[in-house]
Structures are given as C-alpha cells and as structure tokens.
Chain A
Amino acid sequence: MSDEPRPDDAESRDGDADRQTDGNADRQTDGGTTSRPSGEDADVLDAVENEDPEALDRHPIEWDEPDNNRKDPDERLSVSSTPEKADDRKLVTGEAKYTADFAGQFPDLAHAAVRRSDVPHGRVADIDTSAAEAMDGVYAVLTPDSEEVPDGKYTSAGQSYPEPSPWDMHVLSEHVRYVGDPVAAVAAVDAETADAAVDAIEVEYEEYEPVFDPEAAFDEGAPRLFDDDEVENEIVGHDYERNRMASIGGSLGDVEAAFDREDTTVHESEWETVRQSHANLEPHTSLAYTDEDDRHVLVTSTQVPNHTRRQVAHLFDVPIRDIRVTKPAVGGGFGGKQAMVTEPIPMALSLATGRPVVYEAGRDEEFGAMRSRHPMQVRAKTAVTDDGDLEAVQITALSNTGAYGSHGMTVAGNVGSKPLPLYSKVPNIDFAADVVHTNTPQTGAMRGYGAPQGTLALEGHLDEVAHEMGFDPIEFRRDHYMESGDLDEIAGMMGGEGAERRIRSCGLDECVERGKEAIGWDDADQPDEDHLHRGLGMALSAQGTGVAGDELGAAQVMMNEDGSFHLHVGGVDIGTGADTAFIQIAAEVLGCAEEDVVVKAADTDVTPFDYGAYASSTTYISGMAVKKAAEDAKERILEWGSKLLEEPVDALDTAEGTVYSEATGEAVTLEDVGYEAAYGDEEREHILGKGTHCTEESPPPFAAQFADVTVDERTGEFEVNELVVAVDCGVAINPGMATGQIEGANHMSYEMAVCEGITFDDEGRSEVSTYEEYGFPTAAESPPVEAILVETHEPTGPFGAKSVAEVPTNPVPPALSNAVRDAVGVRVTDMPITAEEIRTKLDDGA
C-alpha cells in the first residue's frame, strides 16, 4: 500500500533538515480558468496550449500502446468477464491453507510468544529469564543479548531497497519506546506454555518520561525517543532532538501571494483522523524452519515475500539465496503485512532451538503492538475569488508515527501527493508534513496510505468553502478538477524535475454524474418528522497505481503439452483476487480458458521477483508482467501453429483454445501445438514466455463518493441511509472482484468516519485488545454500499486497467462530514463523527 513520493535517494537518507522544494517551478497554467472546451480533443488542446514543451516531450499525451492492449468490450475474451475467483472453492470449503494451518506438518514444531514492554518509555535494567527457562516444555528464551538475536538496526517497512524508512528498530529492544515493544521471546512445546513462560520473565525497567501527544513531542525539552546514534538510514528532515523523524513537502507557484491578494477570501480549517487498525482477521503469523539443505524457510502471512527475504537476509547476515519465503493463503493484509513484523521472532527462535517455530500474534498484540494507520492533524488553507476561482490550496500535516518510523515519511507524502492532484487546475499549491515520534505503538502502511487523511482535509474543506461562499459543492469542484490530457505537476512536486505525470484516463465527470443519479442528489426528500433532517454529501478521491518509477514485477508462462499453462508470478494475492486477475490477463493473451492457466505465485524459490502487494500496484505492474510473459509464449505458440497449419505467423491468432487462421478458417488446438512442441519429430521446444515490468507511470484511479444521512437534531444521532461510490479504475479485469474491492474499501473508509480507533490510557496502554473494544461497524451496523464501475481506458495498464482497491478507502469521512453539514448545518472536523459531537455543535450554534 505504499507510495513513495520519491525524494531522491540521496536526499531521503542524508541529514539535510531542509524541506525538499524541488519542482518549485512557476506553473504554466492560466490561473484556474473555468472555461472547459467540450470533447476530449478540445481538452487535450487546452492542456497542451499552456504547457512547457519539454514536459510534453517527457510526458507525451499519446502513449505508444500496443495494438492488442485496447479492445472493445465485445472483442475481449476473458478481461471484463466474471469467472469465479480462482481460490474460492477451497476457501468456502475450508481447504485453503493459511500459515497456521501448516503446523500439523511439523511434529517437532515449537510455538513462540513475545514478552512485551510494560512501560511506555525506558530501558531494560534487568531481565531474569531463569523461571521461564526452568519451565517444562520451554525450549528457548531469547533476550536482546542472545547470540541468535541480531544486533543490527532495521525497519520493518516492506519497501524497496534501501527502504525510505529509518532503520530504528531492533528485533528485541533494550531501549523500549511503547507499551508492547518486544523485549524477549520464548519457544515452547505449545502456545499455552510459551505464554506462561513469557509471563514468568521478570523485567525491571529504568523508566523514562514518556510523551504521547504529537504536538507536545515537538516541544522544547520534550522527552526524546531517539539519540542520533540510535538511527541509521535517516530520512530527510529528521530532527531527533525534537522527535521529528521526517519533514517533507513541496510547492508549485506561490500560495502566500495568492493568500495576500485583495480579490481572494482565505479559508482555513483543521481536521483530525483516528488511529485505525487493520484488524486483519488472520493475525500476523510466521513459521520458520531450516530445511535439509540448510536453507531457511519462512512460511508467512505477508504482502511482501521478496522484501522480507532481503530484510531477513540482511538482518541475520545470511545470503539471500539461502532464504525461501513462501506466502500461503493470507487472511487479510490492508498494508499491515507490508512489513516484516513477525518473521524475525520465529527465525531467531528456530536458530536457537533447531526446531521449526511458529509465531501467531494474539488479537491483543494485533491491536497493541502490530501496526496501525498514522493518526494525523491536517490543516487546509485556500484562497478563493468571489467568482469561485480556487487560486491556492495549502495542506499542512502533523503525522504521529508512534515509536518507530516505518512508512512514516512516505505515508506523510501521500497526504499531499494523492488528493491534491485532483485539482490540477489550481495554480498555487503548497504541501508540508512533519512526522513525529510519540511513545505509542508504531504505525505503518494501511490501505489508502496517507491519502485518507489528506482527502478528509481537502474534501471537507472545499465543501465548507462552497457552503460559506454559496457555491454548488459539485460545480465548485468541477471547475478545478483534473481531466484527461492534463500534465499533473502536483503528484511529482516532491520528486524533482521530470516527476510530473500525464493523465491519459480520467472518468471523474462520469463518476460524479452516475454517483449523483444513484444517490438522488437532485431530489432528496426530507423526512416528515420536524426533528429529522436528511442531508447529502459528496467527496472526490484519487490514488496512484503503483509507485511511479519504483516498482518491479515479473512472470513466467510455461506451456504443457495438453495446451494448458503454468503461470509463475511474483505478485502477491492477499485475498484480493490478484491470482484470478493474472489468470484472466494470461487467458486473454493466450486465447485459452481460465481453467487452463494454473497459477503459482509468491514463493521466492520458484516465482519471479516482485516488489509485493502494495501501492495499488498488483494488477498494473505484476499484471503487465503477466501480459508480457503470455505474449512471449504466444509468439512461440504461433510459430508452432504456423508449422502445423502451414500458414504465415502473421495470419494467425489464438482464441478458444486454438491457433486459427482468419483467412482460411483452419485451426489447430493448443493441445496439438503443445504435443508437437514437446514431442515433434525434427525439433522440439518447451514453450516458455517471460515478462518483466517496471514503469515511470502511475496513473490515478478516481472515485466520487456520496453519502446520504438522516440526523436527529434533538440528540445528534444519525443514520447513514446509503453510501454510493463511483470508481474509475480503467478497465476492470473482473467486475465482480472489482466491486468487492470497492465495497470493502468503502466500509473501511466508513469505519474511519464513525469508529474511534485505537485509544490509550494515561500510561500509554492500548484501551483496545478485542474486536468488541475496537467497536467497528458490524454487519448490522453497516450501511448499504452501492459500487459503480465507470470504465475508462488507461493506455499504460494491462488491457486498460488501473488500480481499484485503495481509492475508495479515502472518501467516506469527508463525504459523511459534508452530509451532516448539509443536514443540520454543523461541521464535524475531528473523526470519528459522533452523536455527541453533532449535538454539542448544534447546542453551540443555538
């Protein structure tokens, strides 16, 4: 789920505390004119007319798209159809294997448990493991000093190398920085014994003063979490004296000049987001053992097998080739497993005991010691003319990264770089974010990855401006939002020259129109009861598709003699249906049935390299690698078909399990080709195709969110009648799976609007250790969600696809805040939206 905003590598790791302002060029736009030519050509002309010619060279409007990439709906063989999700039958019968389900295969398996810090800040002064070691069934007790526990610093963030996250963690810590920091680990005959042994470890702490509030952490004299020598691979803008791990930003034009202009009104607002938990149903689980070749195997619930392999290799000083990471079924990730969170524990314990070791995090550990969404305070400031021209937008964020800095800078960057490009017509943009440490559990990647926090501020703020100035909130947005052909300088404004991107697909207009219609925007009735008020709100959302210039995926297609295929791909299906999308892409190219493609994915010994499931990249990056691999195989298939049919290759194509000639109507089956290639008389060949894909492109998908709410003015209680979200994800490879992604993401977005998230007591202890305490909306408490797919064609994506799973995670909090504003005239800026808050504001207003 990560998108790096690409501060260049040198800057991301040096000690320069200056904010990056590369790309701070004057914008060559016309100051946010509201005139919009009709038709795509006119739009493109309008965009180009005002553009730097060099930018046009760097980012041409026309993409050199292969002929086979764009197909009319009736030409598509598998893409846009809805074959079953490939793993569903084993999932609904309970036969799928998740990591913990492999335990039965290891008779000498040991179970791990972790002793975690009882204090929010301090140093382990003494640790007595003797009672734990003496217990029956305990195989090993490890502390930071143990030989098998690595000394080195690392980040758990599962990112490209070197990670744009500071190396500030240890596998087991002496300097503890939150209640829950791991200080010791046990392997025992069963989980109960391991838990009991962990409790028997006696730890004495030299306690330090903690700091929990992100603003207080910035104060002069605030307790300091890190000495300078406790961090390597520091991030741009770090200032550990002030607990700041990073500070980033960028700008275009001159916002201050726009704020000072006499013909603009300046609006300011401040927003706050919750610490949301991934609450993935399958806990973080990892199983480690050493095989008969003395190689280390990790079966693990991860989104990032290749990053984990590299990180484990570095941490334990083992060659990469001697580590195998395999991903079985994964019970939900949402970014929480875009990290090497649990793997080092069973790895170290396995080295210490010589046994296979499994570590399955408890639900209390999931809420208190794994990862969560960065809570943020985000300020928005705009300059708007009376005519409704949005002259400047400034977003400023303070992000609480908790005790460690994994994903801290990159998430903060996305607060600006994802939502702000929605308004590419605005001439003056400024974004800045500070990322600060507190003595709370560390945060990490989570679906949306900073975009939800920025989207709340931007989309709530613009709605408030529209209300205050008497503009229609949709038309006000429409006058400034992105369209196809635009050169988006905002997404790249932190990345230096050339980091702009060309927008080649944008379905915002249709998203808005279809969403309006579905929610009944123009004809909402009020309830009969005087105390009930119905309101409608909307918000826009944009994301990326992969990390521009920082992705890699690869795949291999192997043909069997019966005309079926093995597809080996590094892409990581964590329940999203990625494997099925890969099958459909391969089947589309090869002209075979979906069931004739067998996927093997995400096993570092077997499958090609891949960065992993994050940044909305899987369909786009790994999927394009699959497409290339299938095309490579298809070339060979056509060669063999040409021999059998005695026709030139150019005259042939594949469909319905055959190689056929359009000219003659002759055909041979893929099985004929497979047998001939494998067992032919004169020459033979194993038909193999390979594909690898990386790109500088990261096209945004778009969403228009609508919320329909009824508020009781007497109590502030509200009921969400419906959520509608229309999404432009390019061409949906499988519309059934795509709508599932949208509905699930929108539910997670809704949770951010109505659920308090993880909270802490005065001593820094998590007040949430169970699902019930977390209090997220259950099935009966969840409003209906209508997901609408708006098809556009993204020429850089496989068969026109761009991403889908993150963009609907962002927009419910602002849409619901906007709906409440519409219903009863009060503005809730701090999440969650509660009846008490609405009631208080109604009382204040009265």
Chain B
Amino acid sequence: MSVELTVNGSELTLEDPERDLASALRASGHTEVKCGCDGGDCGASKVLIDGEAVMACGMAVADAAGTAVETVAAFGTQSDLHPIQQSFVDHFAVQCGFCIPGMVVEAKSLLADNPDPTEAEVREAIDDNVCRCTGYQKPVEAILDAADRVGESDTAVATDGGTAGGGVDE
C-alpha cells in the first residue's frame, strides 16, 4: 500500500506505510529532516504537518497520508531566509546546526500560535528540542527577536527579514 502526501508543496508517494516518517523523508531526499535519537526524544526531526510541529520520527508514514508536510527547506532559501532563520543567523544561535531544522520548525509553529511569546513560553516550546552546543540562550533570543520580525512583516512566509548585525550580545 502506498501513501500519498505533499511535502513542501510537491506530491510524494511513499511505499512503506509502517516506516517512520523521518526515515522515509530522508530516504526520499529530504535530508534537512535530522535524526538525533532512536525515536521521539530529541526534536531534530520536527516538521510541520498541516501546520503543527511534529517529530517525524515518532510517526508512521501511514499516519501522514493526505497531509501537507512542510520541512525547514520550504521556509526560505540561503539568499532569502525566512525571518526566523535570519534571526538565528544574526544571533549566532547556530553552532553545529544539527538541531536547527527542528528548532526553526518549532519556532515557526510557536509564533503562528503565539505571535508575542514570553521567554518562558519560548523555552517551554523548545523544551523537547535537544541542543548540545548553545545552552539554549541564543536560540531563545533568536526566537524572541524573530517574533518581532515576523510581527513587523505582513506575512510569515519567506521574506528577507534580516537586520544584519543585530542581536549580537557583545
């Protein structure tokens, strides 16, 4: 039985309904979806499924049938970053970067639901996103700043939200 869904606006047919969605997406070329644990424990594989942030590794392909999946690759391009991505860059919130796709996806989901979160709400939102490099300080600052940037732009789709040089502590 094959499973049909859309990923970043393109139709995708996956053949193994039992397989976890993260592995299936990676095998079909979506290597922006990361796997850092043996399932459901680190948040690196978060994608938006019909707008909601979900760890793709904790979900069977069959359960994604008919959904619209969005990965971090859909948010912005290297030359035209989404405001959340730009904020992560401007705040030096990225070190090894392995957690970042999941972190940015969670941030987008958070800001869609709560455009003006408190620091505590940001920390709660990324509480199941493991980051080993940053101690969470700069990602939290980046998401708080991104809230302002997304709020300033009319839509939350890819625009150049960069304010280069902003947000550096020192």
Mark A residues whose CB is within 8 Å of B. 82, 84-85, 87-98, 100-101, 104, 278-283, 329-334, 362-364, 574-577, 732, 735-741, 743-748, 750, 769-772, 778-782, 784-785, 787, 789
- A744 near B133 with CB under 8 A, answer yes
Task: Jot down 27 A-B pairs with beta carbons below 8 A, ordered by A.
Answer: A84-B164, A85-B89, A85-B94, A88-B97, A91-B97, A92-B104, A93-B73, A93-B78, A94-B32, A280-B132, A281-B130, A282-B34, A282-B36, A283-B36, A329-B96, A331-B34, A363-B42, A574-B96, A575-B96, A575-B97, A576-B95, A732-B170, A740-B134, A743-B138, A744-B95, A744-B132, A779-B140
* Closest-CB distance, A537 to chain B (whole angstroms): 19
Interface flags, B119-134, vs A, CB<8A=1, else 0: 0101110111111111
- A332 near B98 with CB under 8 A, answer yes
- B97 near A331 with CB under 8 A, answer yes
> Among B93, B131, B140, B170, which residue has the most Cβ atoms of chain A within 10 A?
B170
Separation of A747 and B94 alpha carbons in the complex (Å): 15
Q: Hey, which chain A residues are within 8 Å of B140, CB to CB? A: 779
- A88 near B88 with CB under 8 A, answer yes
Q: Hey, which chain A residues are within 8 Å of B72, CB to CB? A: 92-94
Q: Hey, which chain B residues are within 8 Å of A333, CB to CB? A: 96
Q: Hey, which chain B residues are within 8 Å of A363, CB to CB? A: 36-38, 41-42
Identify which of B36, B90, B135 contacts A281 (C-beta below 8 A).
B36
CB closest residue in chain B, given A81: B165
CB closest residue in chain B, given A739: B169
> Among B33, B77, B88, B89, which residue has the most Cβ atoms of chain A within 10 A?
B89
- A88-B94, A93-B77, A736-B92 as given contacts; A770 in contact with B134, CB under 8 Å: no
Q: Hey, which chain B residues are within 8 Å of A739, CB to CB? A: 92, 138, 168-170
Q: Is B31 an interface residue (CB 8 A)?
A: yes
- A88 near B89 with CB under 8 A, answer yes
* Closest-CB distance, A110 to chain B (whole angstroms): 15
- B97 near A740 with CB under 8 A, answer no
Separation of A100 and B132 alpha carbons in the complex (Å): 19
- A771 near B37 with CB under 8 A, answer yes
CB closest residue in chain B, given A782: B136
- A362-B38, A737-B92 as given contacts; A782 in contact with B98, CB under 8 Å: no
- A364-B38, A739-B169, A780-B124 as given contacts; A94 in contact with B71, CB under 8 Å: yes
* Closest-CB distance, B135 to chain A (whole angstroms): 3
Identify which of A90, A362, A574, A787 contacts B169 (C-beta below 8 A).
A787
- B38 near A736 with CB under 8 A, answer no
- A89 near B133 with CB under 8 A, answer no
CB closest residue in chain A, given B140: A779
Interface flags, B97-108, vs A, CB<8A=1, else 0: 111110010000
Separation of A375 and B15 alpha carbons in the complex (Å): 47
Separation of A98 and B71 alpha carbons in the complex (Å): 17
- A736 near B134 with CB under 8 A, answer no
Q: Hey, which chain B residues are within 8 Å of A785, CB to CB? A: 135, 137
Separation of A771 and B38 alpha carbons in the complex (Å): 10
Interface flags, B23-38, vs A, CB<8A=1, else 0: 0001101011111111
- A104-B29, A787-B169 as given contacts; A92 in contact with B100, CB under 8 Å: yes
- A744-B133, A771-B42, A782-B135 as given contacts; A282 in contact with B29, CB under 8 Å: no
Identify which of A577, A770, A780 contacts B41 (C-beta below 8 A).
A770
CB closest residue in chain B, given A91: B97
B17-67 with Cβ < 8 A to chain A? 26-27, 29, 31-38, 41-42, 44
Q: Hey, which chain A residues are within 8 Å of B98, CB to CB? A: 98, 281-282, 331-332, 575
Identify which of B91, B132, B170 contacts A334 (C-beta below 8 A).
B132
CB closest residue in chain B, given A737: B92
Separation of A746 and B129 alpha carbons in the complex (Å): 19
- A744 near B134 with CB under 8 A, answer yes
Q: Is B115 an interface residue (CB 8 A)?
A: no
Q: Is B76 an interface residue (CB 8 A)?
A: yes
- A90 near B78 with CB under 8 A, answer yes
Separation of A100 and B27 alpha carbons in the complex (Å): 11
- A281 near B95 with CB under 8 A, answer no
Q: Hey, which chain B residues are within 8 Å of A780, CB to CB? A: 120, 123-124, 127
Separation of A740 and B96 alpha carbons in the complex (Å): 11
Separation of A283 and B38 alpha carbons in the complex (Å): 10
CB closest residue in chain A, given B29: A104
- A332 near B130 with CB under 8 A, answer no
Q: Hey, which chain A residues are within 8 Å of B26, CB to CB? A: 100-101
Separation of A91 and B142 alpha carbons in the complex (Å): 15
- A91-B100, A92-B88, A93-B72 as given contacts; A770 in contact with B132, CB under 8 Å: no
Separation of A95 and B128 alpha carbons in the complex (Å): 23
Q: Is B81 an interface residue (CB 8 A)?
A: yes
* Closest-CB distance, B70 to chain A (whole angstroms): 12
Separation of A281 and B94 alpha carbons in the complex (Å): 13
Separation of A716 and B88 alpha carbons in the complex (Å): 37
* Closest-CB distance, B147 to chain A (whole angstroms): 16
Q: Hey, which chain A residues are within 8 Å of B100, CB to CB? A: 91-92, 94
Separation of A810 and B98 alpha carbons in the complex (Å): 25
Separation of A764 and B124 alpha carbons in the complex (Å): 35
Q: Hey, which chain A residues are within 8 Å of B170, CB to CB? A: 732, 735-736, 738-739, 789
Identify which of B71, B92, B123 contacts A740 (C-beta below 8 A).
B92
Q: Hey, which chain B residues are within 8 Å of A735, CB to CB? A: 168-170
CB closest residue in chain A, given B35: A100
* Closest-CB distance, A178 to chain B (whole angstroms): 20
* Closest-CB distance, A207 to chain B (whole angstroms): 28
CB closest residue in chain B, given A97: B31
CB closest residue in chain B, given A364: B38
CB closest residue in chain B, given A751: B135
Separation of A331 and B98 alpha carbons in the complex (Å): 5
Separation of A785 and B29 alpha carbons in the complex (Å): 38
Identify which of A329, A577, A770 contacts B38 (C-beta below 8 A).
A770
CB closest residue in chain A, given B73: A94
Separation of A89 and B97 alpha carbons in the complex (Å): 10
- B168 near A82 with CB under 8 A, answer yes
Closest 9 CB pairs of A and B: A94-B32, A575-B96, A747-B135, A91-B97, A331-B98, A735-B170, A736-B92, A101-B31, A92-B85
Q: Hey, which chain A residues are within 8 Å of B165, CB to CB? A: 82
CB closest residue in chain A, given B72: A94
Separation of A739 and B75 alpha carbons in the complex (Å): 27
Q: Hey, which chain A residues are within 8 Å of B124, CB to CB? A: 779-780
Q: Hey, which chain B residues are within 8 Å of A82, CB to CB? A: 92, 165, 168
Q: Hey, which chain A residues are within 8 Å of B34, CB to CB? A: 94, 98, 281-282, 331
Separation of A739 and B141 alpha carbons in the complex (Å): 13
CB closest residue in chain A, given B88: A92
- A363-B37, A747-B135, A779-B131 given; 14 more Cβ-contact pairs under 8 Å: A84-B89, A88-B89, A93-B77, A93-B81, A94-B73, A95-B78, A98-B98, A104-B29, A330-B96, A333-B96, A362-B38, A745-B135, A780-B120, A782-B137
> Among B27, B29, B98, which residue has the most Cβ atoms of chain A within 10 A?
B98
Q: Hey, which chain A residues are within 8 Å of B135, CB to CB? A: 743-748, 750, 782, 785
Separation of A782 and B90 alpha carbons in the complex (Å): 22
Separation of A780 and B117 alpha carbons in the complex (Å): 14
CB closest residue in chain A, given B75: A93
Q: Hey, which chain A residues are within 8 Å of B164, CB to CB? A: 84
- A740 near B42 with CB under 8 A, answer no
- A96 near B97 with CB under 8 A, answer yes
Q: Hey, which chain B residues are within 8 Å of A748, CB to CB? A: 132, 135
Q: Hey, which chain B residues are within 8 Å of A576, CB to CB? A: 95
Q: Hey, which chain B residues are within 8 Å of A281, CB to CB? A: 34, 36, 42, 44, 96, 98-99, 130-132
Q: Hey, which chain B residues are within 8 Å of A744, CB to CB? A: 95, 132-135
* Closest-CB distance, B122 to chain A (whole angstroms): 8
CB closest residue in chain B, given A102: B31
Separation of A339 and B89 alpha carbons in the complex (Å): 30
Separation of A740 and B133 alpha carbons in the complex (Å): 8
- A104-B31, A771-B42, A789-B170 as given contacts; A740 in contact with B129, CB under 8 Å: no
Q: Hey, which chain B residues are within 8 Å of A88, CB to CB? A: 88-89, 94, 97
